[in-house]
Structure 1
Amino acid sequence: MGNKNILIISFILILSLLAGCGQDNIQANEKLNKNNDNLVIRLEGGDWGYPTPFLHYRRGPGAYKMKLIFDSLLEKDEKGLIPWLAKEWEIKNDGKEYIFKLNKNIKWHDGNKLTADDVKFTFEYYKAHPPVWNNLIVNGKNIIENVDIIDDYTIKFIVNEKNATYLERVGTMPIIPKHIWENVKDPLKFYREEAVIGCGPYKLTNYSREQGIYKFKAFENYWGPKQKVDVIEFVPVSDPILAFEKGDIDTLMASPDILNRYENNEGFKVTKNKPFWGYRLIFNMDNRPELKDKSLRKVFAYGINRDELVQKVARGAGIVASMGYLPKAHKWYNPDIKKYNFDIEKARKLINGKEYSFKLLIGNSPKEVKIAELIKLSLSKVGINIEVKSVDNKTRDGLVKKGDFELAIIGHGGWGRDPDLLRDMYYSSETMESNSPASGSLPGFYNEKINELALLQMKQLNFDERKETIYKLQEVIAQEVPQIPLFNTIGYFVFRPLKYDGWMYTYDHHYPEHCKLSYLERK
């Protein structure tokens, strides 16, 4: 045997030994964690802001870190809203009064007791200082007219009108301690340690903006379900796959091409996420008034090959988005709306020989770049020329919020929320507040029928009546094509069940790491 072959065989043997050692180390770490009283879960890090209601970044990873610290009156599980800080509630006066009875012996992280006074203060403070995720604003107005303390553990909210969405809006706002925040004049400058004192299951013990590090430790005097995870760490990761396989992090969002590493392997468990994350193409009809022509918007609908996007960008792990916006897995999804299959001839007929040029704003992620490339190529065949401008994702989000674009591609979660998200997305009002990249951002679009239906569904407390309106709303949206929902992703969540097997999905969200209940004991 030649020297070259001997070297190759030796190299392969060394790699095999190293791989075996790596697997042994992972198994040893799992065994240590299993027998240790302190269970530490490590997740992929990245900076999402200081986790107060006012300073986290607008996207989900920032908000859900904040929610580990700050509890709300209600919480969400697999089926819907559940009691949390409030042990029970009732709705009176034809939907204009909400009365919540609080659990007793709830403590803030500094040992002070939570009372109804803290709850009243929170909502009054939010009116003066809106948080990042401000669910209390509907059509530009704060929904709370008054907050009355009945006793130390009972509180009543009087709202401006009956509305099918108000229970969730009021119930899911994070509660902040009055004794800390009553003297804070500018919450956007409040970075002190006291700013992250909440009454939630975890305390923030370390944060590094530069490294994207967070460390949350279980609060020993937590009022609610016992924490199953003692420490949650978000750590810097350059290669998530390598970090997961080395045991540096405990979960992985896997693409279809690497799933065979983990499927049918007893050391791993794979769950399939709901398609509640997706991409959409936004039209700015203020900056480009010709887009107010529905026929031109339909050229985009027929001229973009969205099946191709699913196959080449999502690698098959996705579904073509509904032109009515609500995904197929959404319980309010209408399957009988107008479809827009890829059809170059229909697109050419609608554009009728005209040519257009548009600037397309995108983030700098490889997937968005690929989406833009495919859209540009596809639309060039029907007479639409696209100039792509790529910036970092935070800059893109800011430009979209300001309306400083012609066309934009944006990806985000939140597609599984209450169907009132259709009003958030499509209702036309200059006074509407856009709280996140998942809200609004359709400048210049106006449709009276959509406005009428969007307002009607909020006032329908009867499920069947509201469902009929939501179905009709999706039909009109699909006919009008105010934007192009491109595709929804279907992620594969991989973890080691021997290390931890408590992950769960809420009914309206796509990612178990974001769910507070994933880290707590369940009945």
Structure 2
Amino acid sequence: MAKLPKHWLSLILLLLFLGIILAACNNSNDSSDTQTEDADGTEEQKGEDSGPKTGGTLTGAMYSAPAGMFNPIFYEESYEANILDFTHEGLVSQNDSLEFVPNLASKWETNEDQTEITFTLEQGVSWHDGEEFTADDVVFTYQSMSDPDYVSAGGIRTAYVEPLLGYEAYSSGDTEKFEGVIAEDDHTVTFKFSEPNINPLYYASFPIIPEHIFADIPVAEMPEAPESREAGKVIGTGPFQFTDMIEREQYILERNDDYWQGSPYLDRLVWKVVAQSVMTGLLESGELDFIADPNGIPPADYETVKAFGNIEIIEQPDFGYQILGFKHNHRTTEDVESGAIEPDNWIPNEKLSNPKVRQAIAYAVNRQGLVDGLLYGRGQPINSPIATQFWAYDENAATNYSYDPELAASMLEEEGYVDTDGDGFREDPDGNEWVLNMDYPTGNELRERSAPLIEQQLEEVGINVNLRQPKEMTAYVEGLTNDNTDWDLYLIGWSLASTDPDPTGLWGTKAAYNFSRWNNPESTELLQKAMKAPEAFEQDFRKEVYAEWQALFSEDLPALLLYAQNSLWAYNDRLHGVDPLPYTMYNNAHLWWVEDAE
């Protein structure tokens, strides 16, 4: 799934489990609870009596290749996040309670009216090339995401900069003065907001990029610059440096000896692109050391992996979900070519414009059957696009679309969708052929197996589904993004940001990841209300507003939430120091070590 991030995350998908968004580059020193499969519930630390050892290589796997964007402000997919989580960092991170904790910033202070937050940065932090990390890098990162050319160049992280003071004027080109983030000195930086901000640490949590690397590269050209794409030229502050790759096959990260929290124990991390069908066998043989994001080990392989004896399994609720998306609208060709997201220009998709039809489709899908049959019960259907771990998730506020094909058929009949020619498929109310195109990507076996099952279930209630050939994820995401086409239904997964339950990054009208092109003014109003000071300083107020929004979402249905599967992360017990967080296994990687290091 692609990450919607803590920092976005996802592709995306991502995207692929995909997702806003969209992958956070974290480094927390706080410990977290680990659910492993040892008899006593704790990680078995064989050989740890001698303490951590320096050296060794660790090999991980992902089932789709990164698209090739390794610049935090432009990446989209969770596969790039697998690299960036080790190479780049933000001012703050999170602990196992999802509280913000210091990272590149050692402390912070907000002003009285919550319009400014000032950070004191860690000193002695250097970039991978030896240059000093300073407040100017922080300013440069946020200024680049506010640049007039950022969105047209493919940038999708505007949620982190839109609340900043002067954003609209700067991003529109009306002024050349950037007021949102100010360097007070080399190690002090202030974020300024146009209004009192209820969660300033969230907006300040994005991974930082180096000014000295990108200063002479126009924002419009950053995505294609070697510094955003080529191993050895991607520069961060993290514990590992991206040094080499065989594109679409292998990606190598080397130890950053000058890492500010101490030189990592491991020599290197190697990522291999491996078909999901063979991952488990390679884990057993030792050719792979860990399988984690975006999907971990397949639920069908859980018992097999558990029996290996040399593998630890971490199981916990996933910070994300899978959806069957409904295309409400399509963008115009002109807007796609210019990179614009202009709801006023969108073209309604008449085939799915009736909310009762979308609701009927929801009742026709056996979500619990997907969980039981594909996830082996290791997950659950969910009704809201807010992670169940958040205080804002309200199971009772949203409609529970339990499997009811008879109700689905009845609703379609009432809306005038009947089979007039006797071919077994319904025509639309005007008597025209009604065919819904359905698209899905390759790579994720569960999603690939879900597609024909959903097609069959919809056809059982008389809906003619054109299940098209799946596409490789990179091409699929391009089709979703450049959606001036004939897509109707789509499958995708989102990895959610862990920093705040605000769903605007995925479901806001102008959000790049709003692939349904959902345009509901009431939704916009509620999402803004939930973040509006001073009322939104009270969590109970926000919870009430988000409950109302969840009810609206499940009624208007830009997507049917299929399920949230459990994260099943697995690693060889030669690896020690694993300290997972609720949303990632990649925490404090500089403290990972292997007992057979030489």
TM tier, smaller: 0.7 to 0.9
Instruction: Describe how 1:113-262 pairs up with structure 2 within 5 A.
Output: 113-128=132-147, 130=150, 131=155, 133-138=157-162, 145-170=179-204, 172-185=205-218, 186-192=221-227, 195-211=233-249, 213-224=250-261, 226-238=263-275, 239-252=278-291, 253-262=296-305
Name the aligned partner's letter for residue 269 of structure 1. E
* SS of residue in 2 equivalent to 1:87: strand
Cα-to-partner distance string for 1:102-148 (whole Å, 9 max, x where unaligned) = 11111122222222222222222332364564542549958974322
Which of 550, 561, 579 aligns to 1:504? It is 579
Asked if the contact 1:67/1:174 (under 8 Å) is kept, the reply is no
* SS of residue in 1 equivalent to 2:113: coil
Asked if the contact 1:344/1:382 (under 8 Å) is kept, the reply is yes
Asked if the contact 2:436/2:489 (under 8 Å) is kept, the reply is no
- Cα distance, 1:194 vs. partner? 6.5
Per the alignment, do residues 55 and 100 of structure 1 end up closer, same or farther by CA in structure 2, a change over 3 Å counting?
closer
Asked if the contact 2:328/2:349 (under 8 Å) is kept, the reply is yes
Name the aligned partner's letter for residue 503 of structure 1. V
Distance in structure 2 (CA, Å) of the matches to 1:263 and 1:74: 35
* Residue aligning to 1:517: 588
Is residue 2:478 matched to residue 1:398? yes
Identity of aligned residues (%): 20
Distance in structure 2 (CA, Å) of the matches to 1:64 and 1:157: 28
Distance in structure 2 (CA, Å) of the matches to 1:397 and 1:421: 23
Which of 515, 529, 550 aligns to 1:456? It is 529
- Cα distance, 1:243 vs. partner? 1.3
Which of 423, 440, 462 aligns to 1:362? It is 440
Asked if the contact 1:425/1:442 (under 8 Å) is kept, the reply is no
Is residue 2:453 matched to residue 1:374? yes
Asked if the contact 1:60/1:413 (under 8 Å) is kept, the reply is no
* Residue aligning to 1:295: 356
Asked if the contact 2:248/2:273 (under 8 Å) is kept, the reply is no
Name the aligned partner's letter for residue 457 of structure 1. A
Distance in structure 1 (CA, Å) of the matches to 2:113 and 2:590: 37
- Cα distance, 1:59 vs. partner? 1.3
Distance in structure 2 (CA, Å) of the matches to 1:216 and 1:339: 45
- Cα distance, 1:306 vs. partner? 0.9
- Cα distance, 1:54 vs. partner? 5.8
Structure showing greater relative contact order (alpha-carbon pairs closer than 8 Å, 6 or more residues apart): 2
Name the aligned partner's letter for residue 548 of structure 2. K
- Cα distance, 1:484 vs. partner? 0.6
Say which is worse superposed, 53-62 or 89-98, in terms of deviation. 53-62
Distance in structure 2 (CA, Å) of the matches to 1:166 and 1:442: 29
Asked if the contact 2:357/2:411 (under 8 Å) is kept, the reply is yes
Instruction: Describe how 1:266-285 pairs up with structure 2 within 5 A.
Output: 266-285=309-328
Structure 2 length normalisation: TM-score?
0.73
Name the aligned partner's letter for residue 201 of structure 2. L
Instruction: Describe how 1:28-47 pairs up with structure 2 within 5 A.
Output: 37-45=54-62, 47=65
Per the alignment, do residues 327 and 159 of structure 1 end up closer, same or farther by CA in structure 2, a change over 3 Å counting?
closer
* SS of residue in 2 equivalent to 1:458: coil
Name the aligned partner's letter for residue 357 of structure 1. V
* Residue aligning to 2:33: none
* SS of residue in 1 equivalent to 2:537: coil
* SS of residue in 2 equivalent to 1:183: coil
Distance in structure 2 (CA, Å) of the matches to 1:70 and 1:226: 15
Name the aligned partner's letter for residue 388 of structure 1. L
- Cα distance, 1:210 vs. partner? 4.1
Distance in structure 2 (CA, Å) of the matches to 1:87 and 1:370: 47
Asked if the contact 1:277/1:411 (under 8 Å) is kept, the reply is no
* Unmatched 5+ stretches in structure 1: 1-28
Instruction: Describe how 1:407-486 pairs up with structure 2 within 5 A.
Output: 407-415=488-496, 417-418=498-499, 420-428=501-509, 432-434=510-512, 439-443=513-517, 445-459=518-532, 460-486=536-562
- Cα distance, 1:81 vs. partner? 1.8
Name the aligned partner's letter for residue 261 of structure 2. G
Instruction: Describe how 1:31-70 pairs up with structure 2 within 5 A.
Output: 37-45=54-62, 47-50=65-68, 52-53=70-71, 57-70=75-88
Per the alignment, do residues 76 and 111 of structure 1 end up closer, same or farther by CA in structure 2, a change over 3 Å counting?
same
Q: Which has the larger radius of gyration?
A: 1
Distance in structure 2 (CA, Å) of the matches to 1:37 and 1:225: 12
Cα-to-partner distance string for 1:144-195 (whole Å, 9 max, x where unaligned) = 743222222111121222333442122x222222222212232123215674
- Cα distance, 1:62 vs. partner? 0.6
Distance in structure 1 (CA, Å) of the matches to 2:557 and 2:355: 7
Instruction: Describe how 1:82-97 pairs up with structure 2 within 5 A.
Output: 82-97=101-116
Asked if the contact 1:41/1:232 (under 8 Å) is kept, the reply is yes
Per the alignment, do residues 243 and 369 of structure 1 end up closer, same or farther by CA in structure 2, a change over 3 Å counting?
closer
* SS of residue in 2 equivalent to 1:368: helix
- Cα distance, 1:302 vs. partner? 0.9
Distance in structure 1 (CA, Å) of the matches to 2:56 and 2:235: 23
Structure with bigger helix share is 1
Say which is worse superposed, 312-321 or 332-341, in terms of deviation. 312-321
- Cα distance, 1:339 vs. partner? 1.3
Distance in structure 2 (CA, Å) of the matches to 1:405 and 1:94: 49
* Residue aligning to 1:18: none
Name the aligned partner's letter for residue 484 of structure 1. L
Distance in structure 1 (CA, Å) of the matches to 2:73 and 2:191: 26
Cα-to-partner distance string for 1:311-364 (whole Å, 9 max, x where unaligned) = 233333221121x22243443210212211111221122111512421111113
* SS of residue in 2 equivalent to 1:336: coil
- Cα distance, 1:519 vs. partner? 4.1
Structure 1 length normalisation: TM-score?
0.83
* SS of residue in 1 equivalent to 2:208: coil
* SS of residue in 1 equivalent to 2:575: coil
* Number of residues of Structure 1 aligned to a counterpart in Structure 2: 477
* SS of residue in 2 equivalent to 1:409: strand
Instruction: Describe how 1:102-117 pairs up with structure 2 within 5 A.
Output: 102-117=121-136
Asked if the contact 2:59/2:287 (under 8 Å) is kept, the reply is yes
* SS of residue in 2 equivalent to 1:196: coil
* SS of residue in 2 equivalent to 1:413: strand
* Residue aligning to 1:488: 564
* SS of residue in 2 equivalent to 1:486: strand
Distance in structure 1 (CA, Å) of the matches to 2:243 and 2:521: 51
Give the RMSD, CA atoms, in angstroms: 3.0
